[in-house]
Structure 1
Amino acid sequence: MKTRRPVALIFLCAAAAFGRNVMSSERKPAVAGSFYPASAKELKSLVIKLLDRAGASTFDGEPVAVMTPHAGYVYSGKTAAISWAAAAIADPETIVLIGNSHNFPLDKGSVWPDGSFATPLGETSVDKELAAKILEHSDIFRADTAPHIMEHSLEVQLPFIRMVAPQAKIVPILLGSSNSCQKAVAAGKAIAAAIKNHGRKTLIAASSDMSHFPSEAVAREADGVALEAIVRLDTTALRETEIDLLRTAKPSLECVLCASESVIAVMTAAKELGADAAKILDYSNSAEASGDISRVVGYGAVVFVKTGVRGQGIGDRQKKTKKTEFKISEKKRKFLLELARKSITEHLFGRTLTIPTTDDPELKHPSAVFVTLTTSDGHLRGCIGTTEAVAPIGEAVAQMARAAAFRDHRFGPLSSEELGNVRIEISALSPLRRVTSAAEIEPGAHGVSVVRGNRSGLFLPQVWEHFDRKEDFLGELCSQKAGLSADAWKDPSTELYVFTVEKFGE
């Protein structure tokens, strides 16, 4: 959220912390206890609750970048959680966090070059190798820690990162509010070039709130127009949209995006890294928490993805996808289970997994998969998957196995002591098929996905064993996984999809 400080206070902060290369390797939290809880227990509980409500986003492709808000969690936590739930699908090893400096005027991007950022949930290390590659573009960036010391816009993202990608490193970058689209584009291209030469799986995040201080009606209109420009991946159109909205809107609209330069930089970097589509995952504003519709701040969640098929939604995919259900031989099942365990083991001990190349059509077949971990006494230890058949099944299994072991926010990361005590189960999903009513859903046979607006949730067929009635199954799916009312499945505006799975385990 954009903040205003007296000019004198800005100079006092600068006098206290100024010095282009502050020799502090660990950045301490500046807004714990105000933007989010300072208590580790309370913060973890809140973030888990927000992520649970976010549920599983439905979009095509591999996430390359996200846009996420940075206000206090009571205002924008719901929308931020939706962004980070989508980001988690990428299983990133490094996250480049980009925001605009709220307290320091900057002529170059400020990069925190090494060390770590502390949070109540633990420290997150800086990827100093990638930071150094970005700093090679010295005409655009400088190593400069001072602007970061009191900056909230990147800090508020860290608790989410600690829960969805606890092993990931970060590169914190602050840009100046230059009103120069060209500078922001140049920054985005430089960041993308550094990432291409880095060799680690990297996701980029733009930290920005949207319209500041108009009425709720004006905010929804202005933010809707801005979001349309963002998902078109058109940076010039976005800047022109901002200028036009500020010229024609009521005076109470102070800005359209408080980190416009960061959003443009991330849009540019995402396109350079192969993103060919974007999707709005959520929109909200401060009136939902405060009740004040006369003066609001807007919040948007957007994911930028690499698909190869631009703008294809579930309905389009259903029409264009032939039935591709397939059987996996016993030999290939054994291979995939061994691959899943090896993926977890290699990640646990800091080694890189190499997936064998193959011409086997079963293993080259793109597949949506879920990987479930259970303890020896049958308790759930992790379950993460995707409904999108994007990667070959071997790659998908390796990725989802790591995510289930280390990135399921309901549990802590799997330890080496637990490794031998977990059982791995793989569920390969058929393509989703839309049904017109719940009457078409077959208990025990069908997995179900429910979608309404930006909310979605999914239950595998295995979940039926916990329910005696279809109504209870669907009610729990809507309320627990999608964050909808328990009877939302009865509403004609709610979309219901069914699928089957081929399930096998150790």
Structure 2
Amino acid sequence: MTKNKMNFSGTFYPDEKNELLKYFDYFKKSEEKIELDINPRAIIVPHAGYIYSGSVANIAYNLSKNINSKRIIVIGPSHRYYLDGASVSLFDFYETPLGDLSIDKEFASNLIKKFNWLNFDENAHMEHSTETQMPFIKNYIDKKVLEIVYGKIDFVELSLLLSELLKDNNNFVVISTDLSHFYTLEEANILDQNCIDAIRKQDINLLDENCEACGIIGVMALINASKKLNYKVEFLDYKTSYDVTKDDKSVVGYSSFILGEDIVI
């Protein structure tokens, strides 16, 4: 049995189970109660160290903990390894401090057959944008996962995959992205508000022109699919690294959203 090993535990998030659970408990206690009027089908979450962005991501996962989907598809940008297209993990398990997650290899293999820009490149899967999501998934949802890491790809192509995935209620999608990087706090707030407004409005042009985010391709692909599926978008939270460091000269922005259909009563 092969494992997608943890590469960023102990740096981006705790490598000890009890310490990690303390983080989740703290995040939950700090959250304001949000009443959703949509059935969650996808989330947009950050991927920085948990001390910086964990609380922002936690809201989205906590609100998604009762989903009925059978598998969680985590999609994030490659930061360290050049990719043409994207790679989907074909390991058997994904390791986390809370225990292993099963990878749906059969489903992943079928996707590779359908999309010629999708393959398995083992080197692509030492990636923090996706790994940081796995402890959240193990803690709150604990379903089978797929990890897709993308490089050079048009958002329209990725959107075709997302549209197909989201038409099946067995699939739940996680899009990983941080927002602006290394601006002053004032500049970051302006840039990040552009992104937040564009995502709320599901406006591809605004995203393309006025949003700075390392996972912008994934965000644009999800919004493109979301519009076709008539999903609603709910903004959840926004913070910057300033909230922790108190350094307003160079900050990174983080936000979270949840997308889905109207709840039918």
Query: Is 2:204 aligned against 1:228?
Result: no
Over alpha carbons, which structure has the higher Rg? Answer: 1
**Residue in structure 1 matched with residue 128 of structure 2 by the alignment:** 152
The CA deviation at 1:262 is 1.5
The CA deviation at 1:25 is 2.4
Question: Is the 1:226–1:241 contact (alpha carbons within 8 Å) kept by the matching residues of 2?
Answer: yes
Select 2:224's aligned residue among 264, 268, 280: 268
Tell me, in whole angstroms, the C-alpha distance in 2 between the residues paired with 1:233 and 1:130: 29
Q: Which structure has the higher relative contact order (CA within 8 Å, separation 6+)?
A: 2
Tell me, in whole angstroms, the C-alpha distance in 1 between the residues paired with 2:59 and 2:2: 31
In terms of mean alpha carbon deviation, does 113-122 or 125-134 score higher?
Answer: 125-134
Q: Write out aligned runs for 1:451-466 (5 A).
A: none
Where 1:278 maps in the other structure, the secondary structure is strand
Tell me, in whole angstroms, the C-alpha distance in 2 between the residues paired with 1:111 and 1:189: 16
Where 2:182 maps in the other structure, the secondary structure is coil
Report the residue type matching 1:99 in the other structure: G
The CA deviation at 1:88 is 2.1
Query: Is 2:75 aligned against 1:98?
Result: yes
Question: Is the 1:64–1:275 contact (alpha carbons within 8 Å) kept by the matching residues of 2?
Answer: no
Tell me, in whole angstroms, the C-alpha distance in 1 between the residues paired with 2:264 and 2:105: 30
Question: How does the TM-score come out when normalised to structure 2?
Answer: 0.93
Q: Write out aligned runs for 1:112-191 (5 A).
A: 112-148=89-125, 150-166=126-142, 168-176=143-151, 178=152, 183-191=154-162
Question: What is the aligned length?
Answer: 265
User: How has the CA–CA distance of structure 1 residues 72 and 57 changed in structure 2, closer, same or farther, with 3 Å as cutoff?
Assistant: same
Report the residue type matching 2:48 in the other structure: A
User: How has the CA–CA distance of structure 1 residues 277 and 194 changed in structure 2, closer, same or farther, with 3 Å as cutoff?
Assistant: closer
Question: Is the 1:47–1:159 contact (alpha carbons within 8 Å) kept by the matching residues of 2?
Answer: no
**Residue in structure 2 matched with residue 296 of structure 1 by the alignment:** 251
Where 1:99 maps in the other structure, the secondary structure is strand
What CA RMSD, in Å, does the superposition of the two structures yield over aligned residues? Answer: 1.8
Tell me, in whole angstroms, the C-alpha distance in 2 between the residues paired with 1:265 and 1:136: 20
Tell me, in whole angstroms, the C-alpha distance in 1 between the residues paired with 2:53 and 2:98: 20
Question: Is the 1:57–1:85 contact (alpha carbons within 8 Å) kept by the matching residues of 2?
Answer: no
Q: Write out aligned runs for 1:324-473 (5 A).
A: 390-391=263-264
The CA deviation at 1:41 is 1.1
Tell me, in whole angstroms, the C-alpha distance in 1 between the residues paired with 2:25 and 2:111: 33
Question: Is the 2:166–2:173 contact (alpha carbons within 8 Å) kept by the matching residues of 1?
Answer: no
1:202-255 deviation digits (Å, cap 9, x = unpaired)? 21111110000001111111100111111112223311223xxxxxxxxxxxxx
Report the residue type matching 2:163 in the other structure: A
Query: Is 2:189 aligned against 1:212?
Result: no
Report the residue type matching 2:216 in the other structure: S
Tell me, in whole angstroms, the C-alpha distance in 2 between the residues paired with 1:267 and 1:96: 16
Structure 1 unaligned segments of length 5 or more: list them: 1-23, 243-255, 308-389, 393-506
1:292-321 deviation digits (Å, cap 9, x = unpaired)? 0110000001111212xxxxxxxxxxxxxx
The CA deviation at 1:263 is 1.3
**Residue in structure 1 matched with residue 55 of structure 2 by the alignment:** 78
Question: How does the TM-score come out when normalised to structure 1?
Answer: 0.50
Question: Is the 1:232–1:277 contact (alpha carbons within 8 Å) kept by the matching residues of 2?
Answer: no
Where 2:134 maps in the other structure, the secondary structure is helix
Report the residue type matching 1:204 in the other structure: V
The CA deviation at 1:89 is 4.2
